[in-house]
Structure 1
Amino acid sequence: MDFVINSYSLVLFISSLIVYGLSSYILFKVDDALRWIAFTMMSFSFWGFFYGMELTSQTMEQMLIWSKVQYLGLVFAPACWLVFTLKYAGIDDGKGKFIQNSIFILPIVTYILVLSNSWHHLHYKNTWVIQDGPFPILGIEKGPWYLVQIAYAYAYYAIGTYVLWKNFKSANLHFKTLTKILIIAGFLPLFVNILYQLAWFKPFEGLDFTPYAFLFTYSLLGIAIIRFNFLNIWPIARDKILEVMSRGVLVFDHRNILVDFNKAARDYFTEPEYIVLGQSAEKVFTNSPHLLDLVNRKENEKFQNKIRVKDFEKTYELESVKLLNSQSLITGTLIFIDDITHDVLTQETLQQQAQELKQLNELKDKYFSIISHDLKGPVFGVKELIYLTTTGIISEKEFLEMLPEVSKNMEHVAILLENLLAWTSSQLRGEYIQIQRLDLNRIIQNQKSLLDRIAKDKNIEIVLQTQKEITINGDRNMMDLIFRNLISNAIKFSNPNSKVEISCMLDQDLIQIKIKDYGVGIPEENLIKLNNGVSFSTRGQSNESGTGLGMLMVKEYIQKNNGSLQIFSKQGEGSEFIVSFPLAKDED
């Protein structure tokens, strides 16, 4: 075979080898969905190289041989392009194999007809050698299938271009740039081919500049893909993943420029208008310096941040992940924003419930301790006293002498039982509250009368100063327990020969009841426990027993009746309890 290399064929050889090298590199760098762009480039390089061989040929036979070889790339390039666009756009679904195979039917039929053209002349009606150019060129007369081949090639390119435009017209900056390059790479050579087919652009008769245009644009495309790492992820899959993620995601490049984000990320910011592709991190995080600090750091970081959104405090977990290349150099930063408000509230609720359960268990233990000690002792004491009296071991006179002490003990037992029953009722099945209008003066007077005898035993005077008429809305049983416990405690911790003062004072729409004693006072640590609702017990000045349940019930019942409790105490000087309730409004 005689070959004469000319400048036109040399350009095709060099550019074809460049495109083939670029496509081979891309082929081994991307996954199956994106390898089809490499197959497309290989097809064009195959076409261009062997078209160059045709241009070096001197005889008809040589030209037809290389024409048949080059058509292997020419007919399959449009099919590879269409498969690539479908896969890249993510619409190659469960019927992908069928669609892919269907796309290659026309190219396969075309190539078979090219190989067997001498039998039917469907592709080329006639061929000859054009000798009036700078070198011999194959002249052709188009057959009917040649027009079919042009039609499906244009259709494949048009469909692929439309798919890219439709799916990426609203894509982020990264993929929008790539889409423009891909569309230009496919459209520019087609424009040249249209001019060739219409005979509007033919510097020499028979010379086709289409492979030159394809090789030129696809060499630029290959360089862009490698240089800017355009095909590092399947874009539609990436978009779907980002949008369904509940975590906010922002992507910054090595220059700290925002290149991607999802909708969830915008929800974090009070001024989302700063979240714009192409903006610097300094601009994006104008009002979020903590996030700017995450981007600027060299290591991965994670912390929590609380922000207020429409009168509601939310907790977010913020995390930065550095993107590293093969040389461990930072190529970008991922910022993850996760709304963990529900998790935090759940955790706090669980901790609170665990603490309440712990306190209930402690109270349960205290409950059984009270039953086994504080109740058992006095009850068994009375039982033993009755037994000794009935058997004649002690006389009736001795029994009567012991009776006041027994009576006092049984009064403590009665108060203790009432507190136990009230606490048990509230813990086991909740507390039923029957709200009614109450005369607070009468309630306080009744409780004073009940406790006067205990006070007299310690020579303690109960001084009561009340208003003429005090009406509140509340539960009668709860009010009785509240003031019985408060007055009883004041007596219990008062020194003998002192006094307990009870006074009422109006404060706008509230009534304040002050119960003050001049006893030992409350230690600071116990005062903290009282304010925090923690149960504890201490003995009175005359060694009176206590359970710690009384004040627990007082605090709970005051709250359930829309009241409040203040406690002031100083050791050695006494204590003051101030109970406040809203006054009942007059009925119309």
Structure 2
Amino acid sequence: MDFAFNVYSTFLIVCGLLTLILAGYIFKQGGSTVKWFSVMMFANSIWSIAYGLELASSTIKQIKILINIEYIGIATVPILWFIFCLYFSGKECWYKKPLNFISIVTIPIVTILMVWTNPLHHLHYKSLTISLDGPFPIANIEPGPWYLIFTTYFYVTLACGTFLVIKKFKTIDSIYKKQNYSIVIAALVPWITNMFYLLGIRPFGHIDLTPFAFIIATFLIFIGIYRFKLFDIIPIAREKVLALMQDGFFVLDHQNRIIDYNKSTTQFIDSKINEDLIAKHIEYVLPNQPQLLEHIETHTPGKVELNLTVDGNYFYLEADILFLNENKINNNFTIIKLQDLTTLKKDAITAKEQAKELEKLNQLKDRIFSIIAHDLRGPLVNLSEVLKMISNNQISTEEFKILSPSLSKDIIYTTDLLENILHWSRSQLKGFGIKKEFFNLRSLIINEINYHLPAATLKQIKIIHDVFPGEMVYADILMIQIVMRNIINNAIKFCHPNCEINITAAYQKNHNMLICIQDNGIGIPEDVIDKIFKEENVTTRGTSNEKGTGLGLMVCKDFMERNDGDITVTSTVGVGSKFCITVPTSL
């Protein structure tokens, strides 16, 4: 080949060689983004060196060979630029989809083939001549239809890549903007230069300045790499890290407005606030948090607990507040890290409740054992001694008749005690199921009245009920029976002779039946009312010195809660007491 080098060709060849060397060096040093940039530099170096040799050529045959080589770079530079911009802006997953990749590589491949086979079809350029108007021979190309297609592709690809870079530049934090001025300028230089060339604005005649522009763009980006550490701490890495973090981050300016945040914060923001949070005041985004605002306004770093209700979900958060002063001037920044402690908090609450429940169960166990050891043992020992004395003829029939009322009370007390312990213990067993069913309330109440009639008759107490026939409720019939039995038994125990016990039932609007057992006995002191439904051992002897177990009403409350009901009491000392229970009437 014969070459006559000039200033333009020499400049392009030298810059192309330098670009080639730098491309190899950068490829070895960098990550994915930098490697794609180095590949683009390699393609640009092919274009530059081949075009430089073209400008030094004077024969059509030699120029055509060099144009064929040039188009390896010309056809691949725009696609490599576009892929580099995808990586730089964090959109690299787009080109990895097969259809997208095929769509962007098809035209460059076809273009190279079109150029290499142009003498057969003349679709890329219609004619190729040498112009001698300038100081040295220059190829003069008349574009063909495919040339226009490739030019459109060239522009679209450059424009898309430039758009991604500029869009990234607009949304990037201020601390990164100094790094990226070189990228923005580099993105615009070749795009504008090639546009001028195609529009016929050619200050150097037929010389295409586009490869010169790409060399300038390449060196601008190279300066960005080593002067501003462009790819050492690139914004894309920061965004990916923050996006993957489950902790939320807010960055506030000196007026407490949000200037940056990550996606994890959106889970703590009410869905009604569906707009972009940038420039919004932190109080608007996290309302009703006076302690957080106080720390921010007083510049007090530290941790603050936040309780948030977001779309019906409750969050326990820990806000870690940090203050920065960039360059030690007036640009104060506040960083808030939000850590979700909801699960830990709920687990801690559950563990605390379980510990409290276990403590109560242990106390109850001790109480039951104490009752069994003393209250249950005492009556049985008395009965055993009396029976032993009878068998040994140590007491007469008359003496036994005198002791029998006391023995009868002890047996009734023991029976009630055992019944409450057994029923309550059975309900606490793991796997115990509540067998809810519809049953006739009036029949149950009449059966319980008949059960207590002997004890009531003995104290000359009247039990009156006002329950309509056919009243149905939905609950565990055995549990409701035990509740009714305990309440009626207590009413008899704390009534004087000739008292009355009234039992009524009334349907409520909330699908519950209100059942009340009212007596005109001695009543219950106010300080005792606060304790009788709690797990405390409260026992009081009746009007005929009847003993209490201290378990009956506790069992009643437990059973009513298990049946989605309730139990309440009102009482006045010397006037009487009124116990009311609510039982569901439907599923």
Q: TM-score if structure 2 supplies the norm length? A: 0.65
Structure-1 residue corresponding to 2:141: none
Structure-2 residue corresponding to 1:420: 421
* SS in structure 2 of the partner of residue 298 of structure 1: coil
| Matched residue type, 1:335 | I
Query: Is 2:530 the counterpart of 1:528?
Result: yes
| Matched residue type, 1:260 | D
CA drift of 1:212 comes to 10
In structure 2, relative to structure 1, the CA distance for the partners of 1:191 and 1:470 (3 Å cut) is closer
Structure-2 residue corresponding to 1:266: 266
Query: Is 2:454 the counterpart of 1:450?
Result: no
- Tell which deviates more after alignment, 285-294 or 261-270: 285-294
For 1:391 and 1:289, locate their aligned partners in 2 and report how far apart those are by CA, in whole Å.
82
Query: Is 2:542 the counterpart of 1:544?
Result: no
For 1:234 and 1:498, locate their aligned partners in 2 and report how far apart those are by CA, in whole Å.
93
1:163-182 to 2 correspondences below 5 Å: 163-165=84-86, 168=89, 169=164, 171=168, 173-174=171-172, 181-182=182-183
Structure-1 residue corresponding to 2:241: 241
CA drift of 1:503 comes to 2.8
Structure-2 residue corresponding to 1:159: 80
| Matched residue type, 1:565 | I
For 1:297 and 1:382, locate their aligned partners in 2 and report how far apart those are by CA, in whole Å.
78
Structure 1: which 5+ residue stretches go unaligned? Answer: 1-59, 115-120, 128-140
In structure 2, relative to structure 1, the CA distance for the partners of 1:504 and 1:242 (3 Å cut) is same
* SS in structure 2 of the partner of residue 273 of structure 1: coil
CA drift of 1:402 comes to 1.3
For 1:360 and 1:366, locate their aligned partners in 2 and report how far apart those are by CA, in whole Å.
10
CA drift of 1:529 comes to 3.5
Structure-2 residue corresponding to 1:503: 503
* SS in structure 1 of the partner of residue 582 of structure 2: strand
In structure 2, relative to structure 1, the CA distance for the partners of 1:556 and 1:84 (3 Å cut) is same
| Matched residue type, 1:527 | I
In structure 2, relative to structure 1, the CA distance for the partners of 1:340 and 1:235 (3 Å cut) is same
Structure-2 residue corresponding to 1:75: 20
CA offsets 1:498-552 (integer angstroms, 9 cap, x no match): 6242231434565433223344543444423445x43432121344333322112
For 1:210 and 1:315, locate their aligned partners in 2 and report how far apart those are by CA, in whole Å.
55
For 1:583 and 1:303, locate their aligned partners in 2 and report how far apart those are by CA, in whole Å.
44
CA drift of 1:335 comes to 3.0
CA drift of 1:154 comes to 9.0
Structure-2 residue corresponding to 1:466: 466
Equivalent of residue 303 in structure 1, options 282, 302, 305: 305
- Tell which deviates more after alignment, 497-506 or 185-194: 185-194
CA drift of 1:289 comes to 6.8
| Matched residue type, 1:466 | D
| Matched residue type, 2:306 | Q
Structure-2 residue corresponding to 1:556: 558
Say if 1:470 and 1:583, in contact at 8 Å, map to a contact too. no
For 1:230 and 1:283, locate their aligned partners in 2 and report how far apart those are by CA, in whole Å.
35
Structure-2 residue corresponding to 1:319: 319
For 1:367 and 1:575, locate their aligned partners in 2 and report how far apart those are by CA, in whole Å.
27
For 2:233 and 2:482, locate their aligned partners in 1 and report how far apart those are by CA, in whole Å.
72
CA offsets 1:240-268 (integer angstroms, 9 cap, x no match): 22223333333334565544323332331
In structure 2, relative to structure 1, the CA distance for the partners of 1:212 and 1:574 (3 Å cut) is same
CA offsets 1:305-354 (integer angstroms, 9 cap, x no match): 23251xx2422415253253687777523333455444444433333332
* SS in structure 1 of the partner of residue 548 of structure 2: coil
CA offsets 1:433-491 (integer angstroms, 9 cap, x no match): 25242242x4334333433444455x452341423525223444323311210011123
Say if 2:254 and 2:334, in contact at 8 Å, map to a contact too. yes
Would you say how many aligned residue pairs link Structure 1 and Structure 2? Answer: 487
In structure 2, relative to structure 1, the CA distance for the partners of 1:492 and 1:306 (3 Å cut) is farther
Q: TM-score if structure 1 supplies the norm length? A: 0.65
Say if 1:502 and 1:513, in contact at 8 Å, map to a contact too. no
For 1:410 and 1:446, locate their aligned partners in 2 and report how far apart those are by CA, in whole Å.
21
| Matched residue type, 1:415 | D
Say if 2:513 and 2:584, in contact at 8 Å, map to a contact too. yes
For 1:436 and 1:395, locate their aligned partners in 2 and report how far apart those are by CA, in whole Å.
53
In structure 2, relative to structure 1, the CA distance for the partners of 1:518 and 1:525 (3 Å cut) is same
* SS in structure 1 of the partner of residue 537 of structure 2: coil
CA drift of 1:413 comes to 0.8
Say if 1:319 and 1:336, in contact at 8 Å, map to a contact too. yes
Give identity over the alignment, percent: 23
For 1:343 and 1:124, locate their aligned partners in 2 and report how far apart those are by CA, in whole Å.
71
In structure 2, relative to structure 1, the CA distance for the partners of 1:217 and 1:478 (3 Å cut) is closer
CA offsets 1:146-190 (integer angstroms, 9 cap, x no match): 996996599568624542256523757116966675142255268
In structure 2, relative to structure 1, the CA distance for the partners of 1:100 and 1:493 (3 Å cut) is same
For 2:31 and 2:69, locate their aligned partners in 1 and report how far apart those are by CA, in whole Å.
22
| Matched residue type, 1:261 | Y
For 2:389 and 2:404, locate their aligned partners in 1 and report how far apart those are by CA, in whole Å.
13
CA drift of 1:426 comes to 0.3
| Matched residue type, 1:76 | I
1:95-106 to 2 correspondences below 5 Å: none
Say if 2:463 and 2:500, in contact at 8 Å, map to a contact too. yes
For 1:303 and 1:230, locate their aligned partners in 2 and report how far apart those are by CA, in whole Å.
38
| Matched residue type, 1:349 | T
For 1:539 and 1:551, locate their aligned partners in 2 and report how far apart those are by CA, in whole Å.
12
Structure-1 residue corresponding to 2:569: 567
Say if 1:85 and 1:160, in contact at 8 Å, map to a contact too. no
